[in-house]
């Protein structure tokens, strides 16, 4: 198909497609004449992936390049491929050069001074204990576990360390959610589809769960503190 049809099918404007090609994210089409290139299904798949990574995943162009390198590396196991995409989507580790709560110098790694911070030391132990108790095959040094450590340390720092008591109930719920996520993954025939499923699932899944959690809180709060009757349009009982 020509670039116009590729644009129509994917919703990506023609100049944007040309930009992706210039940046090396998308392979150029096959030249059928000096001024015309022909694109195929592989281009369409790759373009949908790029769009999901950008618009849904919020990844930078550079990060997307990294994910695509992993996708094109036929040697990598499916697990490592999923890991490459997932690691780039851990909150606080976007690698986009922005400072975060745990990465004040914005170099993409937690600040070294934090290692001695007592809140961090305590948080790290909580996380290690949780991993051991649930026999989770994930390292305490992984980006995912470090994200939890960061959140727990921040909680302590503002005097709300007690909230960490929800950790066990949260971990059980997380297992249920992850089971559903993994059951959904892996139906697409191409590796790009797998990565796209993962990215979309991770990002949209966060948003979906956050909304569901709030809905369940409104329900629970209404029963515990409200009239317990049917909810009005503002979401609260009359």
Site string for a second copy, 65-84 (x = CB under 8 A): ------------xxxx-xx-
Q: Does 58 bind a second copy (CB under 8 A)?
A: no
Taking residue 110's Cβ as centre, other Cβ atoms within 10 Å add up to: 23
Please give the backbone phi and psi of residue 110, each rounded to the nearest 5 degrees, phi first: -60, 145
Q: Does 16 bind a second copy (CB under 8 A)?
A: no
Q: Judged by CB, which is closer to a second copy: 26, or 152?
A: 152
Stretch that binds a second copy, among 24-32, 61-69, 104-112, 134-142 (CB under 8 A): 134-142
Q: Does 163 bind a second copy (CB under 8 A)?
A: yes
Please give the torsion angle defined by the CA atoms of residues 85, 89, 93 and 94, in that order, rounded to the nearest 10 degrees: 90
Q: Which residue in the set 152, 191, 192, 195 belongs to the binding site for a second copy (CB under 8 A)?
A: 152
Q: Does 210 bind a second copy (CB under 8 A)?
A: yes
Report yes or no: 202 and 211 within 8 Å, Cβ to Cβ.
no
Q: Judged by CB, which is closer to a second copy: 31, or 236?
A: 236
Q: Does 14 bind a second copy (CB under 8 A)?
A: no
Report yes or no: 63 and 96 within 8 Å, Cβ to Cβ.
yes
Q: Judged by CB, which is closer to a second copy: 29, or 143?
A: 143
Number of residues interacting with a second copy: please give it, by CB under 8 A: 97
Q: Judged by CB, which is closer to a second copy: 1, or 155?
A: 155
Q: Which residue in the set 13, 24, 91, 104 belongs to the binding site for a second copy (CB under 8 A)?
A: 91
């Amino acid at each position: 198909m020509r670039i116009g049809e590729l644009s129509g099918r994917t919703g990506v404007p023609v100049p944007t497609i040309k930009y992706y090609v210039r940046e090396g994210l998308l392979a150029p089409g096959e030249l059928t004449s000096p001024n015309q290139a022909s694109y195929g299904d592989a281009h369409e798949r790759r373009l949908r992936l790029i769009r999901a990574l950008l618009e849904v995943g919020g990844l930078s162009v550079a990060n997307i390049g990294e994910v695509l390198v992993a996708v094109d590396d036929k040697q990598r196991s499916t697990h490592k491929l999923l890991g490459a995409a997932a690691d780039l989507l851990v909150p606080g580790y976007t690698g986009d050069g922005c400072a975060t709560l745990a990465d004040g110098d914005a170099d993409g790694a937690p600040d070294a001074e934090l290692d001695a911070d007592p809140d961090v030391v305590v948080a790290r132990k909580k996380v290690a204990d949780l991993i051991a108790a649930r026999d989770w095959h994930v390292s305490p040094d992984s980006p995912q576990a470090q994200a939890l450590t960061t959140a727990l340390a921040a909680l302590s720092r503002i005097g709300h360390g007690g909230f960490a008591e929800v950790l066990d109930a949260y971990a059980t719920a997380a297992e249920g959610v992850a089971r559903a996520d993994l059951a959904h993954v892996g139906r697409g025939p191409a590796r790009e589809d797998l990565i796209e499923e993962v990215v979309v699932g991770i990002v949209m899944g966060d948003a979906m769960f956050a909304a569901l959690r709030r809905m369940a809180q409104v329900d629970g709060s209404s029963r515990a503190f409200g009239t317990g009757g049917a909810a009005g349009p503002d979401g609260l009982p009359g």
